[in-house]
Chains A and B, each alone.
Chain A
Amino acid sequence: MRMTSEKHTSPMLFVRRLRVRMLRFVRSFVLVSMVAGISYIILLPLFSKLSASLMVEADLYDAAVKWIPRHLTLDNYVKVWGYMRYPRVFLNSLLLALGASLLQVASCALVGYGLGRFAFRGNGLLFALVMLTLIVPPQVLMTPLYLNFRFFDIFGLLPNPINLINTPYPVLLMSMTGTGLKNGLFIYISRQFFKGMATELEEAAYVDGAGLFMTFYRVMLPCAAPALLVTFLFAFVWQWNDYFYSSLFMSTVELMPNALTAIGSRYVSSLELVRASAGTGIRLEITSQFLSILDSGGMILFVAPLLLMYAFMQRYFMESVERTGLVG
């Protein structure tokens, strides 16, 4: 009783508590302002693209306009939607990214399980090779890979070479075998995860009469859901963003990255069409500033599906990152 009354009355204690509270406030103020600053830099390109894509060209030169366009317009989006042939391109890219990332998740889980849980001769070497595929830039392999898929015959096993260029098969084949885009990283993640799991689970499954594959499929795989989710998200995002393989293997296929880089030239050729039909009387100018506006709109349309997906999945994503033990 005496203690509590002292707590309330002693001016010394009151000052000390005030000091602690002040310090805590200053600390969190500094923290939040630093975080806000970094967040601003991260979001700046996104916002500036969004605002530019809603402008008419004159707004870009208007010194009074910084973020909010004077002449708000959706015209750029209408144009870009057409130049990108958005609905079809979206569907193609979605199917490819889904297919490739699901295959990658499956193959990387299998390989990661094999590397993480089984002691066999050459395990260490194989893991080193997985890391090697991550380190060698794909540009080193670009020419041979292109030629192999152009004249695909698996070391002469097929009588007539098949042309797989401009089909999704090169990407799907590579995803299936764990050699797709950054798959070394995914194998690493799933290996670390499986390695950290308790052996009791497996043993219990064996005792109950499950075979090796059954154990993997029914017992280990469900436990690995967080690692698989992280892998899937990465695989999907990287496949969606990928310009390298898309332009190398599928340059004439209507995919998002190809459509995005083609906006400029399609705009120019559409202008030329107008000029041809209207004769020389009409004056048309192409400025790089206006192309930037169109490109900004295109980039917003390009990242919008990813942002939507991220918004829906970020909660599971954060949890998964924490539980995957990326760290090992």
Chain B
Amino acid sequence: METRKLFRMSLGRKREIGGYLFVMPFVVGFVLFFLYPCVQSVVFSLSRLELTQTGFSLSFVGVDNYRYAFLRHPTFVRELTATVLQTLKDVPLILVFSFFAAILLNQKFFGRGLARVIFFLPVILGAGVVLRMERSNYIMSMIAIDPAASETGLGGFLVTFLDGLRLPRFLIEYILFAIASVAKVISASGIQVMIFLAGLQSVPSSLYEAANVEGATGWESFCLITFPLMSPLVITNLVYTVVDSFTGESNTLLDLIRKTIFSGAGYGASAAMAWTYFAIVGVVLAITMAVVSKRVFYQK
């Protein structure tokens, strides 16, 4: 009769145990394939690792690997700063573009279905190994767009035009950079467009109708309805974009980290580099989140 009693527990208790059962796969995976490797990786970064016949042996060396990465490695520091700066320059472009593209796709126009299919193509094409191959491909380098490279023609005209507006130098450079990286930005924003578009479609149309009745212009209802309601998604996309560009296949620093394993410095130095990198990613993410989340509007 004991077992009968066990089965007759309250629904709340049953659901609590059920909940644990449902998340069990992840708990196992997290411990085996995430937490344990994480701890190991920290230990590796503080040790010298040597492969033996039946496994590997560790000898503790303190912060030697970190010292190697920062002081003795020829290119690590330069690559690190370059990668972080590149990300900081790319992320706003990707966010602005994907918001813009989502608004475009949310309008009614001829061929919208086809346009959506094309706009989500980067999700399929712009990931992984293809992106990696394109970096060193002669044909891909031929179709690259670089307005600053051509002094005459449109590029030259653009520079003179922006100069004539008396914009500050760094802003002109950023605009030129933005144009030069149009293809990259577009190929990196498939998912973000999707998230924004799903968000735009979830805005109740009654809000726009009410605003329309009250005599709001299109611009006003965009600023006062669309934008505030989308702002939580800006955070989602911000985090996604930062993580994506820091862990993506087109990231050269990650190649460096991977190559270091097989070079003389070995596993320890590679782990030290990876952790340094992750620490910086974490700091960048925390700062941007803190700045942006203050300006986010939540409906509830």
- Nearest Cβ on chain A to B53's Cβ, whole angstroms: 11
- Nearest Cβ on chain B to A189's Cβ, whole angstroms: 10
CA–CA, A298 and B129, complex, Å:
11
Among B36, B109, B233, B267, contact of A31 (Cβ-Cβ < 8 Å)? B109
What residues of A have a CB within 8 angstroms of the CB of B254 in the complex? 137, 139
Among B16, B187, B277, contact of A120 (Cβ-Cβ < 8 Å)? B16
Among A45, A49, A178, A288, contact of B25 (Cβ-Cβ < 8 Å)? A178
What residues of B have a CB within 8 angstroms of the CB of A293 in the complex? 139
* Contacts A134-B243, A179-B33, A292-B139 given; does A42 touch B119 at CB 8 Å: yes
The yes or no answer to B14 lying at the interface (CB within 8 A) is yes
A39 and B118 contact, CB distance less than 8 A: yes
What residues of B have a CB within 8 angstroms of the CB of A284 in the complex? none
The yes or no answer to B247 lying at the interface (CB within 8 A) is yes
B19 and A118 contact, CB distance less than 8 A: yes
* Contacts A107-B25, A292-B139 given; does A45 touch B183 at CB 8 Å: yes
CA–CA, A179 and B25, complex, Å:
9
What residues of B have a CB within 8 angstroms of the CB of A288 in the complex? 138
- Nearest Cβ on chain A to B156's Cβ, whole angstroms: 21
A140 and B198 contact, CB distance less than 8 A: no
* Contacts A48-B139, A134-B243, A138-B247 given; does A299 touch B130 at CB 8 Å: yes
Q: How large is the interface on B (under 10, 10 to 19, 20 to 34, 35 or more residues)?
A: 35 or more
Among B55, B104, B274, contact of A34 (Cβ-Cβ < 8 Å)? B104
The yes or no answer to A32 lying at the interface (CB within 8 A) is yes
CA–CA, A316 and B287, complex, Å:
38
Q: Which stretch (A68-76, A82-90, A236-244, A271-279) binds chain B?
A: A236-244
Among A123, A173, A260, contact of B33 (Cβ-Cβ < 8 Å)? A173
The yes or no answer to A147 lying at the interface (CB within 8 A) is yes
Among B107, B113, B140, B261, max chain A CB count under 10 A is at: B140
Among A114, A123, A213, max chain B CB count under 10 A is at: A114
Among A114, A237, A299, contact of B22 (Cβ-Cβ < 8 Å)? A114
Annotate B46-88 by CB proximity to A: 1 below 8 A, 0 otherwise. Answer: 0001000011100000000000000000000000000000000
CA–CA, A105 and B132, complex, Å:
27
A41 and B44 contact, CB distance less than 8 A: no
What residues of B have a CB within 8 angstroms of the CB of A147 in the complex? 40, 55-56
What residues of A have a CB within 8 angstroms of the CB of B290 in the complex? none
* Contacts A137-B278, A151-B55, A322-B201 given; does A143 touch B271 at CB 8 Å: yes
A120 and B137 contact, CB distance less than 8 A: no
Q: Which stretch (B120-128, B157-165, B207-215, B220-228) binds chain A?
A: B120-128
A114 and B258 contact, CB distance less than 8 A: no
The yes or no answer to B37 lying at the interface (CB within 8 A) is yes
Among A38, A179, A187, A306, contact of B124 (Cβ-Cβ < 8 Å)? A306
A43 and B130 contact, CB distance less than 8 A: no
B23 and A111 contact, CB distance less than 8 A: yes
What residues of B have a CB within 8 angstroms of the CB of A298 in the complex? 133
B140 and A45 contact, CB distance less than 8 A: yes
CA–CA, A296 and B134, complex, Å:
9
A261 and B139 contact, CB distance less than 8 A: no
What residues of A have a CB within 8 angstroms of the CB of B40 in the complex? 143-144, 147-148
Q: Which residue of B lies closest to A244 (CB)?
A: B249
* Contacts A120-B16, A126-B27, A176-B29 given; does A35 touch B133 at CB 8 Å: no
Among B26, B199, B261, B271, max chain A CB count under 10 A is at: B26
B183 and A44 contact, CB distance less than 8 A: yes
A114 and B23 contact, CB distance less than 8 A: yes
The yes or no answer to B149 lying at the interface (CB within 8 A) is no
A136 and B129 contact, CB distance less than 8 A: no
- Nearest Cβ on chain B to A199's Cβ, whole angstroms: 11
A-B pairs, top 5 by smallest CB distance, nearest first, are: A177-B29, A118-B19, A114-B22, A241-B128, A144-B37
Would you give 21 A-B contacts (Cβ < 8 Å), ordered by A? A28-B110, A41-B182, A42-B186, A46-B125, A49-B139, A107-B25, A110-B25, A114-B20, A120-B16, A126-B27, A133-B34, A142-B261, A144-B37, A145-B37, A147-B55, A177-B32, A237-B124, A241-B127, A261-B129, A306-B125, A307-B124
> Which residues does A use to contact B, with CB under 8 Å?
28, 31-32, 34-35, 38-39, 41-46, 48-49, 52, 60, 107, 110-111, 113-115, 117-121, 123, 126, 129-130, 133-145, 147-148, 151, 154-155, 161, 173-174, 176-179, 187, 206, 212-213, 216, 234, 237-238, 240-244, 256-257, 260-261, 288-289, 291-293, 295-296, 298-299, 302-303, 306-307, 310, 314, 317-318, 321-322, 324-327
